[in-house]
Every structure is written in C-alpha cells, then in structure tokens.
Amino acid sequence: MSILRHQNPIATHRLRAGDGFVVPVSVREIVNPAGATATELSVELADLPVPDRRYRADVAMVLPIDGTLMVAFAQRRIGTAGYRSMVVLHLSREAASRFAVSCLGFVATSLAELRRQQSALVDLLENIVEPEQTVAMDVNLIAAAHTGLEACLDFYMISPWATLAMRGKKNGEIGVDPVLRVTLSLGLLLTVIKETASLVAVQLPFEAENA
C-alpha cells in the first residue's frame, strides 16, 4: 500500500510543462511594516505573446465581490435591447491594485489624446444583465495600449504554482498564460481604469494595508 504524503509546495515545486508561456522574470522580496513578506515578480510585457482569444467590447461593468474585483465586458444586441454576450474577468485585490497603479501615467497621456481628437470621455459602464452566452476567467496581469481612439487590453494569468516556483530566487523563468485580448474604445478603457482605481482605493485597500 502506498501513502500519499503532503509536501511543502514552496520547497518542491518546479515550473512544469503546460504551466504557461515561459518568459524571463526578476524577483524581489518585499517586507511591509507589519513584518509580512511578499514576492514581487517583474516581467517584460514585450516578452509575452498576444492572447489568441479576442473579444470586442461595447460596454463594461466593474464590481467588487468578496474581496476581489470583477470586470465584465459585453456586446450590445443590434436592433433590440439587451446583450449578445459577456466575458467576466476576476482579479484578486493585489492584481487590481497593481493595474490601477501602473495605469497612472497611461491615463494622463490617453486623456491628452482624447482632447486632441476633440472627443469626450463617455461613461459606458452599465448594470449588465447577464446574457446566456457568458464566460468567466481568472486573470492577474493586464497590459493596456491605445492608438488614437482605438484601445485594447491584454489579459494574462500567472498561476500560484508558477509563482511558488520562483520563491527564493532572484531571477529565472516563469510561466504566463495568455488569456484574452479585449478591443474597445479609448473612452471605455479610461472609464474602466478610473472605476477600478476608485474601487481599489475605497473597497479594496490592498496598497494601504501593505504600505
């Protein structure tokens, strides 16, 4: 008879085949005033592949749920009320906080582009009633870009197993899963960023707790 023994995953885990697209990563251990240690991973977005799955968003909804953030994108029906489909992306409060902080400079240049194009920042956040065609995904790494009034968000996921494999290392390689590319208007992108930053500051105060 064999016995399955529990082992410490931090000590034994190694990056495995299928654990994502392998890219270089640098690691930094951060200790907050309370004495807790966190692992900060840095990857170059240019090293990441573009996600194969694509979704064109007309409207969005951002909601805090049980200490996490849910960002939903939907397509409106043509000629009738309601929504054709929706994709729901779940972010941990750490991931939502990182995204909001990293977008500070991006928002300033994007708002300048809106003014140059003589376009207004239109609020396209809606209370979306979930349509039959809905899919949910977990993400924790987001890249944003725009040209003119066209924008896109690339969503990725670094699994806990891939993160654990980097414990105690200064650099190496990590697996990153390309999840989804969402194309949207620049106005909608900026509205999502603004709402995410607001919710992170008020309802998901991870940065405040770990400052």
Owning domain of residue 173: 19-203
Q: d(Cα 5, Cα 208) in Å, to the nearest integer? A: 39
pLDDT-wise least confident of 9-18, 92-101, 142-151: 9-18
- In a domain, residue 156? The reply is yes
Mean pLDDT of 76-80: 93
- Residue 183: predicted pLDDT: 97
The whole-chain average pLDDT of the chain stands at: 81
Beta-carbon-side half-sphere exposure of residue 54 (alpha carbons within 13 Å): 7
Taking the CB of residue 110, how many other CB atoms lie within 10 A of it? 22
- Would the pLDDT of 170 be above 80? no
- Would the pLDDT of 208 be above 60? no
CA-based nearest residue to 85, from 136, 133, 129: 133
Share of the chain above pLDDT 90, in %: 39
- What single-letter DSSP state applies at residue 3? -
Q: Binning pLDDT at 50, 70 and 90, where does residue 127 land?
A: very high
Q: Transcribe 65-115 into DSSP letters.
A: ETTEEEEEEEEEPSSSSSEEEEEEEEE-HHHHHHHHHHTHHHHHHHHHHHH
CA-based nearest residue to 92, from 36, 34, 159, 30: 159
- Would the pLDDT of 133 be above 90? yes
Mean pLDDT of 166-187: 84
- In a domain, residue 7? The reply is no
Residues 6+ positions from 167 with CB-CB distance below 8 Å: 10, 39
Q: d(Cα 112, Cα 107) in Å, to the nearest integer? A: 9
- In a domain, residue 45? The reply is yes
pTM flag (> 0.95): no
Q: Binning pLDDT at 50, 70 and 90, where does residue 8 land?
A: very low
- In a domain, residue 55? The reply is yes
- In a domain, residue 13? The reply is no
- In a domain, residue 11? The reply is no
- In a domain, residue 86? The reply is yes
Number of domains in the chain: 1
- Would the pLDDT of 34 be above 50? yes
pLDDT-wise least confident of 14-28, 97-111, 149-163, 187-201: 14-28
